[in-house]
Structure 1
């Protein structure tokens, strides 16, 4: 049985500090059934919001805790948007993700190699207490 490698997202976080995280406003807790804390978002269009800190030249999501490339966590992981939920690290699902590679390169991190699948997406980040 192959050993699972540690999940690289726990030491990366580059995606959360490289791109605008935008999504439909109805995903926020300002809408019935929404989960993302609305106070952590800003309006960017009539029906879309972005996570605070990501709609700027040097994005850094307000929910990202820790140091990119060292040790990171998302303090709203269980409440994250569909944009975050659907983003996968390269090879996490057996497929290359060039957007992951680009984010990692922004922080001087090497692209991930194709590897034995690691901890599942549900365990990508540990929510801060």
Structure 2
């Protein structure tokens, strides 16, 4: 089992910006209601620009059990985020979660 299904720190640590072409309105998969327009070419996942950030698609309790309500339709930054990466470890630290042991 991936640590990601119990963590969720990345979903509550970073802005998630992506191309407008990833939204359903432009032929992509990200639901329009979860995308906030930033510029004519960029959208952001709703909730990720709040302080503190927390993606609107995230459900559950960080560090216990989480889920992504749009996992199959998530934008490219979420698809490309790597478990155990430096950014992952920073997000985990920010939320008081222990580091992962080695690459996954």
**Same-fold call, TM > 0.5?**
yes
Question: Does residue 19 in structure 1 map to residue 14 in structure 2?
Answer: yes
The separation in 2 between residues aligned to 1:107 and 1:88, in whole angstroms, is: 17
Superposition deviation, residue 16 in structure 1: 0.3
Normalising by structure 2, we get a TM-score of 0.95
Question: Residue in 2 aligned with 1:122?
Answer: none
* 1:48-87 matched pairs, under 5 angstroms: 48-87=42-81
Higher helix share: 2
Q: SS of the counterpart of 1:78?
A: helix
1:73 shift after superposition:
0.5
Larger Rg: 1
Aligned length: 104
Gaps of 5+ in 2: none
**Following superposition, which runs of at least 4 residues in structure 1 exceed 3 angstroms of deviation?**
none
Unpaired runs of 5+ residues, structure 1, are: 1-5, 91-96, 118-129
Alignment of 1:1-129 (within 5 A): 6-32=1-27, 34-90=28-84, 97-114=85-102, 117=104
Q: Distance in 1 between matches of 2:61 and 2:94?
A: 14
User: TM-score with structure 1 length normalisation?
Assistant: 0.77
Give the alignment's Cα RMSD to 1 decimal. 1.0
